[in-house]
Amino acid sequence: MSAGLSFDHLLKLLMVGESNVGKTSILIQYTSDSFDEKTKSTIGVDLKVKTIDFMGKKLKLTLWDTAGQERFRTLTASYYRGANGVVLVYDVTNRDSFEHVQHWLKEVDVYCTNEDVVTMLVANKIDKEQERKVSKEEGMAFARKHNMLFMECSAKTKQGVTQAFEELISKALETQCSKREVDGDDQVDLTNVRVCMLFSLASRALFFALFWLFFCSFLALFLLFFGS
């Protein structure tokens, strides 16, 4: 754990998708273990913070809940920056919300500044199985095609909610740690290069110093024997 910090890792996770697919309900269920049928649509962006113990590490999660309405798209675009993970949510009872996932994925590609961002496709409202319009196989196929993690869940019953976040966090943490190791190795390499350069300069300086000393000694001897 870094000095002065109360956590080992900080992860920024973003929820995106069409309006009324259950993004807010999923977050509330994950952070507060509760569900409200009357949850209102998010206006702009909402932020929730959760600290967890995960695989022996203390993690601080900043969970960004974005609005799905078109009029908020410009506002929410800026919140993609620096995200470690993005959850793209659709409603299994709403075919259009699944069809529009492609649009949200394009936004991730355009606005995410983190090249190693982890994306997860989450199919919500599986408690409404009788009203399902999108099969699990379709969701899995889309996720596989776009190298995304995939999970089906129900914000109402909490089925799959915790598992979805745990899988996303695990992958995001793995990616972040791997990147730090690479950056650390790069730093070591740069240090070695600097040391080698200094050693080379020192060697050259020593060579010229010895050469000058030899030359002066030779000149002194020459003058001593042949100067008179």
pLDDT at 155: 95
pLDDT at 183: 52
pLDDT at 45: 72
CATH number at 128 reads 3.40.50.300
**Owning domain of residue 160:** 9-181
Domain count, the chain: 1
State whether the Cα torsion 44-104-93-28 is positive or negative.
negative
pLDDT at 213: 76
In a domain, 207, yes or no: no
pLDDT at 42: 60
pLDDT at 80: 86
In a domain, 226, yes or no: no
pLDDT at 188: 33
pLDDT at 171: 94
Q: What is the CA radius of gyration of the chain?
A: 29
In a domain, 63, yes or no: yes
Nearest to 66 by CA among 26, 29, 34, 36: 26
- Which residue stretches of the chain have pLDDT < 70? 1-5, 38-44, 67-77, 179-208, 210-211, 227-228
In a domain, 210, yes or no: no
In a domain, 123, yes or no: yes
